[in-house]
Amino acid sequence: MKPREIKRGIYFVGAVDWDRRLFDSLIPLPDGTSYNSYLIKGSEKTALIDTVDPTMEPVLVNHLDELKVKNIDYVIANHAEQDHSGSIPRVLEKYPEAKLVCTPRCKGMLIDLLLVAEDRFITVEDKETISLGNRTIEFIHAPWVHWPETMLTYLREDKILFPCDFFGSHLATSNLYVTDEGQVYEAAKRYYAEIMMPFRTNIQKNLEKIKDYPIDIIAPSHGPMYDKPEFIIKAYRDWAFGEPKNIVILPYISMHGSTRRMVAYFVEALAQRGVTVKQFDLTVTDLGKLAMSLVDAATIVIGTPTVLAGPHPGAVYAAYLANAIRANVKFASIIGSYGWGGKTVEQLVAMIPNLKVELLPTVIIKGYPREADFGALDNLAETIAQKHKEQGFV
């Protein structure tokens, strides 16, 4: 893909990565991703906002060559993570006059991660500005979206916000702007769940911080740009400030069918009581989808057999994930079957200290479920339905 002009003198010079399927050796990318870098020419100075993943460095360099960029005055690093900063050393080498602009904390991280020479930096404070002549860049410190050093860049005259990861989506697309809001909503929600939700309070603060800025375009560093920014700002406000909904998330795993039978019965029992249930078979599920489902669920119930005296490792992974991303659930329980004993409940409960949940009665049975066990599942479903009602979760 060629460089793309966004407005006169403002270009997309990033790279679309259609084929990447895993991020951080951890996060599934069903739809690829992009590393968005932006070139801004002012009447006197030129700035580059973020770079690209080092695997895509030649793409960025080619874009700059195609645009015949002879000089860059400022390379702005909104974030030190390598998918945006990884090509900075190459850009600094290509443009020896360029200064690297970032927060004081980001400076230390870029020195540590990329071994950038100290004399290349200009550090900027919150709300500080740099003039490009006829264009003014303002830096908005935004710590913990999603690392401690992050900032947003705001181009005042053009009313464009460059928020790096904030509002981004792992989505490879040939379109510069969002064209399919449904598709982008899902990709951005997945991104929020995996990357931003652990820092929900900071996300709230930073949403408040930008709320009075006039913004015509949001140009994130992953996924398409937003020319109707209210779409993604509203979605973020819903995710970050919203109350949980009348939803139960049920990640489960079954070895010989007993836990699976319990899950099938329990899902029906909840559905009969008007509770939405999303079940995930952990042997095949996309963990990104599981994470996304936890953004607005009120309850998590983990279904697991007991194996080697504890929960199945698949269930351990699900509990670890929910705890790590600090899902905003309010209630939790565990259901499952065992053969002769074990400490499944104790071990799983010990794994979720970040979840500020009320632990509801668990249903742990011996062998295949019998009538009394189904009764216990009915009771748990009833308790959940009542709790959701009492809290006003709809």
Candidate list 31, 57, 83, 158; residue touching ligand FEO; CB under 6 A: 83
Closest CB 203 distance from ligand FEO, rounded Å: 14
Q: Which residues between 137 and 176 bind ligand FEO (CB under 6 A)?
A: 146, 165
**What is the Cα–Cα distance from 119 to 135, expressed in whole angstroms?**
25
Q: What are phi and psi of 122, to 5 degrees?
A: -125, 125
Distance from chain centroid for Cα 130 = 30
One of 41, 45, 84, 200 touching ligand FEO (CB under 6 A): 84
Query: Distance between CA 211 and CA 227 in Å, rounded?
Result: 16
- Minimum CB–partner distance for residue 174 and ligand FEO (Å): 20
Q: Strand 151-155 relative to strand 136-141: parallel, antiparallel, unpaired?
A: antiparallel
Residue the block writes with tokens 């928020």: 163
Return the range that interacts with ligand FEO (CB under 6 A); candidates 55-63, 81-89, 206-214, 349-357.
81-89
Residue 47's contacts (CB-CB under 8 Å, 6 or more residues apart) are: 39, 40, 72, 73, 74, 75, 76, 101, 130, 132, 137
Find the farthest-apart pair of alpha carbons in the chain and give their distance in angstroms, rounded.
Answer: 79
DSSP one-letter string for 143-188: TTSSSTT-EEEEETTTTEEEEETTT------S-SB---HHHHHHHH
CA gap 170, 192 in Å, rounded: 10
Least distance (Å) between residue 327 CB and ligand FEO: 20
Contact segment (CB under 6 A) with ligand FEO among 77-85, 175-183, 204-212, 259-267 equals 77-85
Q: Which stretch binds ligand FEO (CB under 6 A): 78-86, 155-163, 179-187, 280-288?
A: 78-86
Residue 236 · residue 209 · CB < 8 Å = no
Nearest-approach distance from CB 238 to ligand FEO, in angstroms = 22
Shortest reach from residue 282's CB to ligand FEO, in Å: 26
The CA distance from 307 to 136, in Å, is 61
200 interacts with ligand FEO by CB under 6 A: no
- Region of 75-83, 92-100, 116-124, 242-250 interacting with ligand FEO (CB under 6 A): 75-83
DSSP secondary-structure letter at 309? T
Residue with tokens 């960029």: 69
Cβ at position 81, least distance to ligand FEO in Å:
4
User: Which part of the chain contacts ligand FEO (CB under 6 A), choosing from 80-88, 278-286, 300-308, 322-330?
Assistant: 80-88
Binding residue for ligand FEO (CB under 6 A) from 79, 135, 200, 330?
79
Among 31, 57, 81, 378, binds ligand FEO (CB under 6 A): 81
Nearer residue to ligand FEO within complex by CB, 34 or 337: 34
* Binding status of residue 50 toward ligand FEO by CB under 6 A: no
ω before 170 within 30° of 0 (cis)? no
Q: Which residue is nearest to ligand FEO (CB)?
A: 81
Binding residue count for ligand FEO, defined by CB under 6 A = 8
Nearer to ligand FEO, 106 or 235 (CB): 106
CB of 294 to ligand FEO, least distance (A): 20
**In the complex, what is the shortest distance from the CB of residue 309 to ligand FEO, in angstroms, rounded to a whole number?**
39
CA distance 159 to 216: 5
- Cα–Cα distance measured from residue 69 to residue 75, given in angstroms and rounded to the nearest whole number: 13
Q: Is 222 in the site for ligand FEO (CB under 6 A)?
A: yes
Binding site for ligand FEO (CB under 6 A): 79, 81, 83-84, 146, 165, 221-222
